[in-house]
Amino acid sequence: MATAKKYVYFFGKGRAEGRAEQKNLLGGKGANLHEMTTLKIPVPPGFTISTEACIEYVKRGRRFPPQLWAEIEADITKLERAMGKRFGDPKDPLLVSVRSGARISMPGMMDTVLNLGLNDKTIQGLVQRSQNPRFAYDSYRRLLQMFGDVVLGIKKIAFEGLLSEKKRQKGVTADTALSAEDLMDLVEQFKGVIRREAGREFPQDPKEQLRMAIAAVFESWNNKRAIEYRRIYKVPDNWGTAVNIQSMVFGNLGDNSGTGVAFTRDPSTGEKRLYGEFLLNAQGEDVVAGIRTPRPIVAMKKAWPQVYREFEQICRSLEHHYRDMMDIEFTIEDGKLYMLQCRIGKRTAHAAIKIAVDMAKERLIDQKIAVLRVEPWQLEQLLHPTIDPKAKVQKIAKGLSASPGAAVGKAVFTAEEAVEAAERHEKVILVRPETSPEDIAGMVAAQGILTARGGLTSHAAVVARGMGKACVVGCSDILVNEEEGYFEVANLTVRRGDLITIDGSTGNVILGEVALRQPEKLTGEFGTLISWADRFRKIGVRTNADTPRDAQVTRQFGGEGIGLCRTEHMFFEGDRVVAVREMILAKDADERRNALAKLLPMQKQDFKAIFELMDGLPVIIRTLDPPLHEFLPRKDEEIRKVAEGMGVSEKTLKDKVNSLQEFNPMLGHRGCRLGISYPEITEMQARAIFEAACELKKKGKRPFPEIMIPLVGHVKEFQIQRDIVKRVATEVMKAYGVKVRYLIGTMIELPRACIVADQIGAIADFFSFGTNDLTQTAFGFSRDDSGRFLPQYLDEGILQADPFAVLDEEGVGELMRIAIEKGRKAKPKLEIGLCGEHGGEPMSVDLCHRLGLDYVSCSPYRVPIAKLAAAHAVLKKQVKIKEMGEK
Residues with catalytic function = 459, 835
The option from ligand PEP, Mg ion, none interacting with 836 (CB < 5 to 8 A, set by class) reads ligand PEP
State in angstroms the smallest separation of the CB of 863 from Mg ion: 21
Residue number, 464 or 747, with CB nearest to Mg ion: 747
The option from Mg ion, ligand PEP, none interacting with 56 (CB < 5 to 8 A, set by class) reads none
State in angstroms the smallest separation of the CB of 715 from ligand PEP: 19
The option from Mg ion, ligand PEP, none interacting with 53 (CB < 5 to 8 A, set by class) reads none
SS3 450: strand
The option from ligand PEP, Mg ion, none interacting with 835 (CB < 5 to 8 A, set by class) reads ligand PEP
State in angstroms the smallest separation of the CB of 639 from ligand PEP: 26
- Tell me the C-alpha to C-alpha distance, in Å, between residue 716 and each of 709, 773, 855: 12, 20, 26
Contacting positions for Mg ion (CB under 5 A): 749, 770, 773
Residue number, 358 or 749, with CB nearest to Mg ion: 749
State in angstroms the smallest separation of the CB of 710 from ligand PEP: 7
Strand order across the beta sheet in which 96-102 lies: 15-16, 8-12, 46-49, 241-247, 96-102, 112-116
State in angstroms the smallest separation of the CB of 543 from ligand PEP: 12
State in angstroms the smallest separation of the CB of 55 from Mg ion: 45
* Helix (H) or strand (E) segment spanning residue 195: helix 180-198
**Cβ neighbours, 10 Å, residue 87:** 22
CA angle 627–631–634, rounded 5-degree value = 105
Give the closest residue to 46 by CA, choosing from 106, 116, 127: 116
- Tell me the C-alpha to C-alpha distance, in Å, between residue 475 and each of 275, 417, 478, 485: 19, 21, 6, 17
Residue number, 525 or 625, with CB nearest to ligand PEP: 625
Interatomic CA distance for residues 306 and 312, integer angstroms? 10
* Residue 113 neighbours by CB under 8 Å, 6+ apart: 97, 98, 99, 143, 146, 147, 150, 151, 213, 216, 217
Footprint of ligand PEP on 116-135 (CB under 6 A): none
Footprint of ligand PEP on 805-834 (CB under 6 A): none
- The answer to whether residues 684 and 673 touch, using CB atoms and an 8 Å cutoff, is no
Residue number, 466 or 770, with CB nearest to Mg ion: 770
Footprint of ligand PEP on 725-784 (CB under 6 A): 749, 770-773
The option from ligand PEP, Mg ion, none interacting with 378 (CB < 5 to 8 A, set by class) reads none
Residue number, 428 or 750, with CB nearest to ligand PEP: 750
One-letter amino acid at 500 equals I
Residue number, 219 or 749, with CB nearest to Mg ion: 749
Residue 566 labelled as part of a binding site: yes
Residue number, 608 or 622, with CB nearest to Mg ion: 622
Residue 770 labelled as part of a binding site: yes
Binding-residue pattern over the window 465 to 494 for ligand PEP, x denoting contact by CB under 6 A: ------------------------------
Does 836 participate in binding ligand PEP (rule CB under 6 A)? yes
Give the closest residue to 884 by CA, choosing from 220, 24, 5, 13: 24
Q: Which of 346, 453, 542, 566 binds ligand PEP (CB under 6 A)?
A: 566
State in angstroms the smallest separation of the CB of 772 from Mg ion: 5
Residue number, 10 or 571, with CB nearest to Mg ion: 571
Report how many residues bind ligand PEP under the rule CB under 6 A. 10
State in angstroms the smallest separation of the CB of 626 from ligand PEP: 8
The option from ligand PEP, Mg ion, none interacting with 277 (CB < 5 to 8 A, set by class) reads none
Interatomic CA distance for residues 547 and 570, integer angstroms? 7
- The answer to whether residues 708 and 623 touch, using CB atoms and an 8 Å cutoff, is yes
* C-alpha torsion 668→672→678→681, nearest 10: 120
Strands (E), 321-399: 326-333, 336-344, 386-387, 394-398
The option from Mg ion, ligand PEP, none interacting with 506 (CB < 5 to 8 A, set by class) reads none
Q: What is the 3-state secondary structure (H, E, C) of 703-749?
A: CEEEEEECCCCCHHHHHHHHHHHHHHHHHHHHHHCCCCCCEEEEEEC
The option from Mg ion, ligand PEP, none interacting with 564 (CB < 5 to 8 A, set by class) reads ligand PEP
- The answer to whether residues 77 and 85 touch, using CB atoms and an 8 Å cutoff, is no
Residues paired with residue 262 on neighbouring β-strands, in sequence order: 276, 328
Q: Which of 564, 596, 660, 830 binds ligand PEP (CB under 6 A)?
A: 564
Interatomic CA distance for residues 567 and 547, integer angstroms? 9
Angle of the 589-613 helix axis to the 576-585 helix axis, nearest 10? 150
State in angstroms the smallest separation of the CB of 774 from Mg ion: 8
The option from Mg ion, ligand PEP, none interacting with 771 (CB < 5 to 8 A, set by class) reads ligand PEP
- The answer to whether residues 195 and 184 touch, using CB atoms and an 8 Å cutoff, is no
Residue 86 labelled as part of a binding site: no
Task: Dump the DSSP string for 560-624.
Answer: -SEEEEETHHHHTSTTHHHHHHHHHH-SSHHHHHHHHHHHHHHHHHHHHHHHHHTTTSEEEEEPP
Residues paired with residue 621 on neighbouring β-strands, in sequence order: 565, 707
* Residue 778 neighbours by CB under 8 Å, 6+ apart: 751, 808, 811, 812, 815
Give the closest residue to 250 by CA, choosing from 330, 312, 314: 330
State in angstroms the smallest separation of the CB of 271 from Mg ion: 45
Buried b (16+ CB within 10 A) or exposed e, 250-270: bbbbbeebbbbbbbbbbbbbb
Instruction: Report, in angstroms and rounded to the nearest whole number, the Rg of the chain calculated over CA atoms.
Output: 33
Residue number, 71 or 773, with CB nearest to Mg ion: 773
Q: What is the 3-state secondary structure (H, E, C) of 392-418?
A: CCEEEEECEEEECCEEEEEEECCHHHH
Residue number, 436 or 772, with CB nearest to ligand PEP: 772
Residues paired with residue 243 on neighbouring β-strands, in sequence order: 49, 100
Footprint of ligand PEP on 605-664 (CB under 6 A): 625
DSSP 485: T
The option from Mg ion, ligand PEP, none interacting with 566 (CB < 5 to 8 A, set by class) reads ligand PEP
Residue 771 labelled as part of a binding site: yes
Return the percent helix, strand and coil in the chain, to nearest 5: 50, 20, 35
State in angstroms the smallest separation of the CB of 771 from ligand PEP: 5
DSSP 812: I
The option from ligand PEP, Mg ion, none interacting with 48 (CB < 5 to 8 A, set by class) reads none
Residue 773 labelled as part of a binding site: yes
Residue number, 111 or 749, with CB nearest to Mg ion: 749
Residue 15 labelled as part of a binding site: no
* Residue 420 neighbours by CB under 8 Å, 6+ apart: none
Q: Which residues are annotated as a binding site?
A: 566, 622, 749, 770-773
Residue positions forming the annotated binding site for Mg(2+): 749, 773
- Contact residues toward ligand PEP (CB under 6 A) are 564, 566, 625, 749, 770-773, 835-836
| Bind-site residues for substrate | 566, 622, 749, 770-773
